[in-house]
């Protein structure tokens, strides 16, 4: 059977559903194909369950710290991991149901469950059905990457998906990969009561960030009793009576760590290998990401790629912004470009890291005349009042243009406070403009104008 549409969307992640709403509202007969869970990674195995778990872990941490605030707990803090898991499941399930209900009730949209694969540039097969359309939008996302590390096939390991099924606290969780996914799970499980070791092949955690950020995060995690093994260039796995033996024969420390559980958090790979892209002539890069231009169009006219599968972003908000770009260009006559996007994101350890724009290292490499201001959270009233004074804030600006180039707020409320800077950068305002804002007291954000007053010149690199 062949069904003809004006538009087909593959994937109900962060871009697909909203795009379906715009296309159908514009009168296009649209099909949306989803092979697994409506809402995709963020809703089911990414942001939503993990941030719900992070909130439970924070509650446990604060409860243990009760005495610091004059609150005397009735007894020791215990973790009911079944209820912790149930809470995360409920949040995910509600969100997934909402997306699915919305899509199924959308006028002009045909929802098709199944795996879509190209048979030609305007034709996709889902089971026995052929779907055709002059416009095809790929929002197929990604999955955990499982590299062919020595012994990986001989042991049980967890990914960001399977670890969500744990309803008991692991005795010893070994987290391989010291970046976003690894660090969020490492800290939450430590706070749930597990022994935790993070194994990172690079010389430092979260290696894309500035060294001072990496160092501060390592200190924060170490203070909670998380063991961190960096420079682990020779990681391997062996079955062990107590779980899994992980070779971390690094430059120092014990050569092997035995964990009851191992989480692989070593990056993601796009879901583009089983999409039949060759049949449509759509180009992928060496890592499998679909190649797109600045408007997210692929090399084949009438096919666009949005979200994690295009390699231009790896976050929910970048996937959603991809939808906004494509919809605005197609339906509103706009000419929006992905290169205009200012990168921003947060790492949800506690305290969180809010980030926008360039790191200081990137700014130095750019050869500009730089101004930098840095302030420890021990000098932020709001943090002192909350007794959450770990971390620091840093802003980097261009001395000549007076534009803010980037910022990092590693500290309580950092994921929210960073938006004051992100919004100003997005508005194209210079830093003296932000300096004149009258922020609310007591907040973390109120120190941003003060920091701008403390900007000092620093040298360039190289
Ligand atoms: C543990 C974890 C925590 C995260 N936390 C955050 C966070 O706090 N903040 C943040 O911004 N980002 C976070 N992310 C990243 C975020 O989840 C992703 O960037 C986002 O979900 C990408 O959305 P997407 O629409 O590109 O793809 P996805 O959400 O992955 O959706 C793709 C959909 O396409 C479907 N699909 C794939 N192939 C086919 C096919 N051939 N046929 C039919 N359907 C198909 C899939 O089943 C899936 O439903 C996290 C990710 C992980 C793994
Ligand atoms: N808070 C958030 O917004 C959030 C949270 C989780 C995930 N995410 C998204 O998910 C993506 C994937 O996250 P991730 O942490 O899996 O990947 P990542 O690419 O950010 O980091 C992978 C880490 O694993 C290390 N690594 C790679 N191969 C290794 C090996 N063989 N042995 C040991 N270490 C190894 C790398 O050096 C790196 O530190 C991120 O890019 C991010 O966009 C976002």
Residue 462 pLDDT exceeds 50: no
> Rounded to an integer, what distance in angstroms lies between the CA atom of residue 166 and that of residue 180?
20
> Rounded to an integer, what distance in angstroms lies between the CA atom of residue 310 and that of residue 370?
32
Q: Which of 9, 10, 11 to mutate to test the pocket of ligand 1 (most atoms within 8 A of CB)?
A: 11
Exposed / middle / buried, residue 335 (Cβ in 10 Å: 0-12, 13-18, 19+): exposed
If we measure between CA atoms, which residue out of 415, 397, 308, 309 comes closest to residue 355? 415
Q: Which of 316, 341, 348, 349 to mutate to test the pocket of ligand 1 (most atoms within 8 A of CB)?
A: 316
Q: In the structure, what pLDDT confidence band is assigned to residue 252 with cuts at 50, 70 and 90?
A: low
pLDDT by residue (tens digit) across 112-134? 999 999 999 999 999 999 999 99
Q: Which of 202, 267, 311 to mutate to test the pocket of ligand 2 (most atoms within 8 A of CB)?
A: 267
CATH fold match for the domains 2-143+269-340 and 152-266:
yes
> Rounded to an integer, what distance in angstroms lies between the CA atom of residue 293 and that of residue 199?
36
180 lines ligand 2 (CB under 6 A): yes
DSSP state string for 352-417: -EEEEE--HHHHHHTT--EEEEEEEGGG-HHHHHHT---SEEEEEEETTT-BEEEEEEESTTHHHH
Closest ligand 2 atom to Cα of 315? 43
Q: Where are the domains of the chain?
A: 2-143+269-340, 152-266, 344-456
Q: Which residues pair with 91 in a beta bridge?
A: none
ipTM surpassing 0.85, yes or no? yes
Q: In the structure, what pLDDT confidence band is assigned to residue 249 with cuts at 50, 70 and 90?
A: confident
Give the predicted TM-score (pTM) of the model: 0.97
Task: Using the mean position of ligand 2's atoms as its centre, give its distance from the Cα of residue 373 in Å.
Answer: 28
DSSP 8-state assignment for residue 459: P
pLDDT by residue (tens digit) across 353-377? 999 999 999 999 999 999 999 999 9
Residue 432 pLDDT exceeds 80: yes
If we measure between CA atoms, which residue out of 368, 367, 412 comes closest to residue 391? 412
- The CATH number given to 152-266 is 3.50.50.60
Query: Within 10 A of 345 (CB to CB), how many other CB atoms are there?
Result: 17
Class (C level, CATH) for 2-143+269-340:
alpha beta
* Helical (H) or strand (E) element with 441: none
* pLDDT for res 364: 96
**Range 344-456 classified under CATH 3.30.300.30:** no
Q: 109: which 2 tokens? A: 């949209």
* Helical (H) or strand (E) element with 42: helix 40-44
Q: Which ligand is nearest to the CA of 131?
A: 1
Tell me the angle at which helices 180-192 and 47-64 cross, rounded to the nearest 10 degrees: 40
Q: What is the mean pLDDT of residues 435-439?
A: 92
Q: Which ligand is nearest to the CA of 111?
A: 1
286-294-364 Cα angle (round to 5): 80
Q: Lowest-confidence range among 35-44, 111-120, 244-253, 418-427?
A: 244-253
441 is catalytic: yes
Task: Using the mean position of ligand 1's atoms as its centre, give its distance from the Cα of residue 99 in Å.
Answer: 14
* pLDDT for res 250: 57
pLDDT by residue (tens digit) across 27-41? 999 999 999 999 999
* Helical (H) or strand (E) element with 135: strand 135-138
Q: Which residues line ligand 1 (CB under 6 A)?
A: 10-15, 33-37, 40-42, 46-47, 50-51, 115-116, 139-142, 160, 181, 271, 275, 307-308, 314-317, 319, 348
How many residues are present in the chain? 462
Kindly report the backbone phi and psi dihedral angles of residue 423, in degrees, each rounded to the nearest multiple of 5, phi listed first.
Answer: -65, -40
């Amino acid at each position: 059977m062949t069904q003809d549409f004006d538009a087909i969307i593959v994937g109900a992640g962060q871009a697909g559903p909203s795009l379906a709403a715009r296309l159908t509202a514009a009168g296009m007969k649209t099909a949306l194909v989803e092979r697994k869970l409506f809402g995709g990674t963020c809703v089911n195995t990414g942001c939503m369950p993990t941030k719900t778990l992070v909130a439970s872990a924070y509650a446990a941490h604060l409860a243990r710290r009760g005495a610091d605030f004059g609150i005397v707990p009735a007894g020791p803090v215990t973790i009911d991991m079944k209820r912790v898991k149930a809470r995360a499941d409920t949040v995910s399930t509600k969100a997934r149901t909402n997306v699915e209900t919305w899509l199924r009730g959308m006028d002009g949209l045909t929802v098709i469950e199944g795996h879509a694969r190209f048979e030609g540039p305007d034709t996709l097969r889902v089971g026995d059905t052929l779907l055709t359309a002059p416009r095809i939008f790929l929002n197929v996302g990604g999955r955990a990457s499982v590299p062919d590390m020595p012994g990986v096939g001989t042991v049980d390991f967890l990914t960001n998906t399977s670890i969500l099924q744990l309803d008991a606290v692991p005795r010893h969780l070994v987290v391989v990969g010291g970046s976003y996914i690894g660090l969020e799970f490492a800290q939450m499980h430590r706070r749930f009561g597990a022994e935790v070791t993070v194994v990172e092949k690079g010389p430092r955690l979260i290696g894309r960030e500035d060294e001072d950020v990496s160092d501060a995060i390592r200190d924060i995690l170490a203070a909670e009793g998380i063991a961190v093994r960096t420079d682990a260039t020779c990681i391997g796995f062996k079955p062990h009576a107590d779980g899994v033996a992980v070779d971390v024969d690094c430059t120092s420390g014990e050569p092997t760590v035995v964990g009851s559980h191992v989480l692989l958090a070593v990056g993601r790979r796009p879901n583009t290998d089983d999409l039949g892209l060759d049949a449509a002539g759509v180009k992928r890069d060496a890592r499998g990401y679909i190649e797109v231009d600045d408007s997210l169009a692929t090399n084949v006219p009438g096919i666009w790629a949005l979200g994690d599968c295009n390699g231009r972003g790896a976050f929910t908000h970048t996937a959603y912004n991809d939808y906004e770009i494509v919809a605005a260009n197609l339906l509103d006559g706009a000419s929006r470009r992905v290169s205009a996007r200012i990168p921003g994101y947060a790492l949800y350890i506690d305290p969180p890291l809010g980030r926008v724009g360039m790191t200081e290292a990137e700014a130095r490499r750019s050869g500009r005349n730089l101004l930098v201001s840095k302030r420890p959270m021990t000098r932020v009233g709001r943090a002192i009042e909350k007794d959450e004074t770990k971390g620091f804030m840093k802003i980097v600006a261009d001395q000549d243009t007076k534009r803010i180039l980037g910022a990092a707020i590693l500290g309580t409320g950092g994921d929210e406070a960073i938006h004051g800077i992100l919004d100003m950068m997005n508005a194209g305002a210079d830093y003296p403009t932000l300096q004149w804002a009258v922020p609310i007291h007591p907040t973390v954000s109120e120190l941003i104008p003060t920091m701008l007053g403390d900007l000092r010149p620093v040298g360039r690199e190289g």
